[in-house]
Amino acid sequence: MTTDGFTTCLWFDGQAEEAANFYVSVFKNSRIGKILRHTEAGPGEPGSVLTVDFEANGQKFVALNGGPQFKFNEAVSFEIRCEDQAEVDFYWNTLTEDGGEEGPCGWLKDKFGLSWQVVPARLIDMISDSDQQKAGRAMEAMMKMHKLDIAALEKAYAGE
C-alpha cells in the first residue's frame, strides 16, 4: 500500500527542468525536489536531466524527459479555481505568456502545451444554480469568452 498518494507524471521532450522551475515560480506552496540525471548507463546524455520531482500548489508532480514520442493534449487538463478576477488575470496572463495559447471557456495551453482551466469559483455556483434560466445565461456567456470575466458572467447571470 502506498502512503504518498498520487504523483502526476508529465512527459517532456528535454524541457522537464525548465517546466518544473516555471510551475514552481507560478504557484504558491511549491518547491523543486529531487533531480535525477542520466548516468553512463543511459539512455540519455550522461549528466542530463531524466526527472525532476516538484510540488506545485501542494500537488506532487514528476517532470520526465521522455522524448518526442508523446505530446500533451486537451484530454487532460488542470483546473485552477480562482477567488477573484485578479487571480484569474494572474494565472491566465502568466500561463499564456511566452508561447502559450488562449482557448475557449477559460481553457488555455501553456508554453509547454499543457492544458489548464482558469475558473472563477463563483462561476461554478452560477452554472449550478437551481434556477435554470440564470444558470443558462451564465453558461451561454461563458461559452463566448476566452479568459473568463467575472463581472460579465455576473451580469449575464442576473439577466442584465
Q: Which domains does the chain have, with CATH numbers?
A: 8-65 (3.30.720.100), 77-158 (3.10.180.10)
Which three cell numbers, joined as nine digits, stand for 71?
Answer: 505530446
- The answer to whether residue 151 scores a pLDDT higher than 80 is yes
Amino acid 44: pLDDT: 85
Q: How confident is the model at residue 2 (pLDDT cuts 50, 70, 90)?
A: low
Q: What percent of the chain has pLDDT over 90?
A: 93
Residues 68-95 have pLDDT tens digits of 999 999 999 999 999 999 999 999 999 9
Residues 99-134 have pLDDT tens digits of 999 999 999 999 999 999 999 999 999 999 999 999
- The answer to whether residue 1 scores a pLDDT higher than 60 is no
Q: Which residues make beta-bridge pairs with 120?
A: 82
5: left (phi over 0), alpha (psi -120 to 50) or beta: left
- Mean pLDDT is lowest, of 5-9, 80-84, 109-113, 136-140, for 5-9
For residues 28 and 44, the answer to whether their CB atoms sit within 8 Å is no
